[in-house]
Structure 1
Amino acid sequence: MDHQIPAETAAHVLFHYGRDGGYQAGSFTEQLITAIDMADPANRDKLAAGFPDYVAAVVAIQYDPNGVHHLQRIAAGQVAA
């Protein structure tokens, strides 16, 4: 995870994926997370130019076996990303 993930971002992504420790984002952010979730790698890279923290969090939860736990720790303020 190359980019800093703020606690709020971690919480929003956790909620989107139905994981403990998250809370719902506003409608724009919900749609953004959905777009990142659905994006192919080229479009995900384009979204990362404007929203690197959200892309990093989604990539973590999708591809890192410890991603959920890591995001939960960030959201709880137990660790900095």
Structure 2
Amino acid sequence: MSNTPTIPAETARHVLAVFGHGGVRPGRFGEQLISLIAGADLQNMARLADAFPAETEAVRMAQYDNDGIAKLQAIAAGRAAA
């Protein structure tokens, strides 16, 4: 993704919950979407990013950034913008 999308605090909380790091559980669709993105290969993740850019970026951060969970926790708490 060339332009990094803004991740709303609510999205950060949902991704944190699905990954087991606190947060707030999303509804059924949100939980399935986050799980789908997390299990996608890079090609399909890019396709999902077209429709769900913030969710895809948050999942990518959680999975691949060394400090992704900490960044998401900061976003969720309103201490950082992303």
Amino acid in structure 1 at the alignment position of 2:29: F
Residue aligning to 2:51:
50
SS at match of 2:61: helix
Q: RMSD of aligned C-alpha atoms?
A: 1.1
Residue aligning to 1:2:
4
> In the TM superposition, what whole-angstrom CA distance separates every residue of 1:13-56 from its partner, at most 9, and x where no partner exists?
00000003x11000001000010010000100110000000000
- Give the alignment of 1:3-22 within 5 angstroms: 3-20=5-22, 22=23
Aligned length: 80
Q: Distance in 2 between matches of 1:72 and 1:11?
A: 7
TM-score norm. by structure 2 comes to 0.94
Moved over 2 A (4+): none
Give the gaps of 5 or more residues in structure 1: none
Give the gaps of 5 or more residues in structure 2: none
Aligned residues: percent identity?
A: 49
TM-score norm. by structure 1 comes to 0.95
Superposed displacement of residue 3, structure 1: 1.4
